[in-house]
């Protein structure tokens, strides 16, 4: 036995199984089958960029743990600085070791109990989402640490993952009766099991560095001042995840009073920063909620395939749906890290890998299924949109009797933009009713930075929407939009601005690559949104984005003080 150990290479020793430890500290997690398959497909492609593989592997906290553990092991660290991001871990390990690591993780058995597996995936999902939301927040307050926050956030729920894997039925019995905080309290009282402390003990035992673990340890302090911001970032992400999962998301909305001890408060974000963070986090969390249902079926299918096969999984030629999720979520450019002169794996790869081109080519023929558009039909029931029962008498008086001083905030960067917004504010001051104001606003938007503009009314059941007024080329009132995704920005009527895109966007009511959408406070019983874009191929500039947000903010202050309702420009109102 000793002779066999001497023959092992250093890499194999680091990847070999550690001595078996009983109890919660000896738990071994299985990888997410969907993420594992996509990562395996990329790692065997010699043209894969490190950034692409890092983005995929960061979707599974289990793979994040393994990469950080192995890359910080004695053989690979060699006295160098600790690794705290997935990308740097991949660079340090190199192509062959990462492939071996994936093959080794694949050998771990899945949970045989379906209920245990279900709850484990719930906790894994929380870790994955906490990592992404941590990165979203970090990009607003500490961009250079965004990848570190992504890794730290992914580890936030490791203790709860251990609780499910170790206690199994005992945990499930509690989880089906109580909230997360109630479960954790009873685990401490009944089982002497503190998930937070157990998770930290587990991660420290396997060798993860303190300069990332402090971010999830409430009692630890950062060893350097510049990394101290990581803790409130990760804790704020956890607060957002808990609020979303417990149907309290609206309590964190901009303008709402946050609890005194809220981690979000500690970030000291200004209004614009928090609005951006909240919108990006909402977009991701609602999208992830829908995709999670699809991934459940995909996991079952992959597990079944693995159980029927003895050979290792070969690379799949078809695109995995996970790629769509990843590309949509991480729109912001990743923070740059110093990794020496190695921008790819230690093996020399072609300077211009064609991976992105191949993805774009494979997606070229895809059509968005989130919305479907058709021309207004004669038999359309306008009552579905509360357009047939409007009360003109009621709308003769404003909803609020107060004076509004309309002025644009000094957040625009060019004289042309400032001049345009000043013209719009003059329009707001002169308007006598909301119909006149909104009709003229659509006209002004299309003469300014946008090519198309529209007012869209959402139906009572939120299954469709109707364009009641529009301006722009090849664009008019009377288009009905079927909302196949109940969590889309239009169905939920929350703000969404997509500045750039390489293909049709499912979040857009018209599938545009670049668009702006925001709810407006007009006197109507169902939600109404203002929409604008720069044409099929045009991109909304950052200055146009600022203009749109400024105009909507002023508009929603002015509308309640004006009489009137919604301008309806249909042929058959």
CB atoms within 10 A of CB 354: 11
CB atoms within 10 A of CB 77: 15
Q: What pLDDT was estimated at residue 213?
A: 95
**Dist. CA 339–CA 565, nearest whole Å:** 58
Say which residue, 239 or 527, is predicted with more confidence: 239
- Helix, strand and coil content of the chain, in percent to the nearest 5, comes to 50, 5, 40
How large is the angle between the packed helices 33-43 and 321-329, nearest 10 degrees? Answer: 90
Nearest Cα neighbor of 535 from 456, 468, 472 is 472
Same domain for 237 and 95: yes
Mean pLDDT, all residues of the chain = 78
**Dist. CA 360–CA 358, nearest whole Å:** 5
Bridge partners of 457, per DSSP, are 466, 528
Same domain for 257 and 171: yes
In a domain, 148, yes or no: yes
CATH of the domain at 510: 3.30.450.40
Q: What pLDDT was estimated at residue 58?
A: 94
**Dist. CA 498–CA 517, nearest whole Å:** 9
Q: What pLDDT was estimated at residue 349?
A: 37
Q: What pLDDT was estimated at residue 17?
A: 45
Q: What pLDDT was estimated at residue 22?
A: 64
| Tokens linked to 371 | 């919305």
CB atoms within 10 A of CB 247: 8
Q: What is the mean pLDDT of residues 457-462?
A: 83
Q: How many domains does the chain have?
A: 2
Q: What pLDDT was estimated at residue 393?
A: 52
Same domain for 209 and 117: yes
**Dist. CA 412–CA 553, nearest whole Å:** 14
Say which residue, 368 or 429, is predicted with more confidence: 429
**Which range marks the domain in which residue 98 is found?**
2-20+28-329
Same domain for 379 and 323: no
Q: What pLDDT was estimated at residue 545?
A: 85
CATH of the domain at 6: 1.10.3210.10
Give yes or no for a contact between 320 and 125, defined as CB atoms under 8 angstroms apart.
no
**Dist. CA 337–CA 147, nearest whole Å:** 9
The last residue of a domain, from among 305, 329, 353? 329
In a domain, 224, yes or no: yes
Give yes or no for a contact between 99 and 43, defined as CB atoms under 8 angstroms apart.
yes
The last residue of a domain, from among 329, 349, 384? 329
In a domain, 571, yes or no: no
Same domain for 542 and 433: yes
In a domain, 569, yes or no: no
CA atoms within 13 A on the CB side of 101: 24
Same domain for 378 and 277: no
3-state secondary structure of 548: helix
- Ranges 33-47, 433-447, 512-526: which has the least confidence: 512-526
Residue 230 has pLDDT above 90, yes or no: yes
Same domain for 377 and 323: no
CB atoms within 10 A of CB 276: 18
Give the strand pairing for 496-498 and 479-483. unpaired
Residue 462 has pLDDT above 50, yes or no: yes
Residue 100 has pLDDT above 80, yes or no: yes
Say which residue, 292 or 495, is predicted with more confidence: 292
Say which residue, 400 or 240, is predicted with more confidence: 240
Alpha-carbon distances, residue 312 vs 141, 307, 491, 530 (angstroms): 43, 11, 43, 52
Same domain for 226 and 108: yes
Which element (helix H / strand E) includes 543? helix 542-558
The fraction of the chain above a pLDDT of 90, given in percent, is: 30
The last residue of a domain, from among 329, 352, 380? 329
Same domain for 387 and 315: no
Same domain for 549 and 467: yes
Q: What is the mean pLDDT of residues 184-188?
A: 91
In a domain, 393, yes or no: yes
Same domain for 452 and 319: no
Number of H helices, E strands in the chain: 24, 7
Q: What is the mean pLDDT of residues 292-315?
A: 60
- Ranges 48-52, 131-135, 147-151, 209-213: which has the least confidence: 48-52
In a domain, 334, yes or no: no
In a domain, 151, yes or no: yes
In a domain, 354, yes or no: no
Same domain for 456 and 323: no
- Ranges 108-117, 197-206, 303-312, 477-486: which has the least confidence: 303-312
DSSP-assigned states of every residue in 209-258: -HHHHGGG-TT---SSGGGTTHHHHHHHHHHHHHHHHTT-GGGGSTTSPP
Residue 142 makes CB contacts below 8 A (sequence gap 6+) with 149, 229, 230, 233
């Amino acid at each position: 036995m000793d002779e066999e150990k001497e023959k092992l290479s250093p890499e194999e020793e680091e990847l070999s199984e550690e001595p078996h430890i009983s109890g919660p500290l000896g738990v071994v997690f299985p990888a997410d089958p969907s993420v594992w398959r996509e990562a395996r497909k990329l790692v065997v492609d010699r043209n894969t960029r490190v950034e692409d593989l890092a983005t995929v592997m960061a979707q599974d906290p289990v793979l994040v743990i393994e990469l950080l553990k192995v890359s910080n092991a004695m053989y690979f660290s060699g006295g160098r600085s600790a690794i705290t991001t997935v990308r740097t871990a991949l660079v340090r390990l190199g192509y062959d070791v990462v492939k071996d690591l994936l093959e080794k993780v694949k050998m771990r058995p899945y949970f045989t109990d379906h209920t245990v597996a279900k709850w484990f995936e719930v906790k894994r999902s929380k870790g994955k989402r906490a990592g992404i939301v941590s990165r979203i927040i970090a990009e607003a307050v500490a961009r250079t640490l965004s990848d570190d926050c992504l890794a730290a956030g992914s580890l936030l729920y490791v203790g709860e993952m251990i609780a499910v894997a170790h206690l199994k039925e005992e945990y499930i019995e509690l989880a089906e009766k109580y909230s997360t905080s109630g479960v954790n309290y009873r685990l401490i009282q009944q089982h002497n099991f503190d998930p937070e402390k157990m998770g930290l003990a587990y991660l420290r035992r396997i060798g993860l560095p303190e300069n990332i673990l402090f971010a999830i340890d409430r009692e630890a302090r950062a060893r350097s001042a510049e990394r101290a911001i990581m803790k409130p970032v990760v804790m704020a992400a956890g607060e957002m995840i808990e609020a979303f999962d417990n149907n309290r998301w609206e309590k964190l909305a901009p303008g709402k009073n946050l609890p005194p001890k809220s981690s979000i408060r500690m970030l000291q974000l200004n209004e614009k920063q928090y609005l951006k963070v909240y919108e990006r986090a909402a977009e991701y969390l609602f999208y992830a909620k829908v995709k999670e249902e699809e991934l459940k079926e995909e996991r079952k299918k992959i597990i079944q395939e693995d159980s029927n096969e003895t050979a290792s999984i070969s690379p799949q030629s078809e695109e995995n749906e996970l790629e769509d999720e990843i590309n949509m979520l991480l729109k912001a450019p990743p923070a740059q890290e110093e990794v020496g002169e190695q921008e790819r794996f230690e093996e020399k790869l072609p300077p211009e890998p064609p991976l992105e081109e191949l993805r774009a080519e494979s997606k070229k023929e895809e059509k968005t299924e989130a919305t479907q558009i058709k021309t207004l039909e004669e038999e359309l029931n306008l009552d579905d949109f509360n357009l047939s029962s409007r009360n003109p008498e009621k709308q003769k008086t404003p909803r609020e009797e107060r004076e509004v001083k309309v002025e644009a905030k000094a957040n625009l960067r060019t004289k042309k933009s400032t001049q345009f917004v000043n013209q719009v504010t003059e329009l707001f001051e002169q308007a006598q009713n909301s119909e006149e104001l909104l009709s003229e606003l659509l006209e002004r938007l299309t003469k300014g930075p946008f090519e198309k503009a529209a007012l869209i009314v959402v139906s009572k059941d939120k299954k469709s929407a109707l364009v009641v007024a529009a301006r722009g080329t090849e664009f008019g009132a009377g288009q009905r939009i079927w909302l196949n995704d109940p969590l889309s920005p239009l169905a939920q009527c929350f703000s969404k601005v997509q500045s750039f895109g390489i293909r049709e966007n499912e979040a857009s009511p018209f599938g545009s690559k670049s668009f702006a959408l925001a709810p407006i406070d007009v006197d109507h019983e169902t939600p109404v949104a203002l929409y604008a874009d720069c044409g099929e191929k045009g991109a909304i500039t950052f200055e146009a984005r600022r203009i749109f947000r400024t105009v909507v903010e002023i508009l929603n202050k002015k509308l309640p003080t004006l009489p009137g309702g919604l301008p309806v420009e249909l042929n058959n109102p």
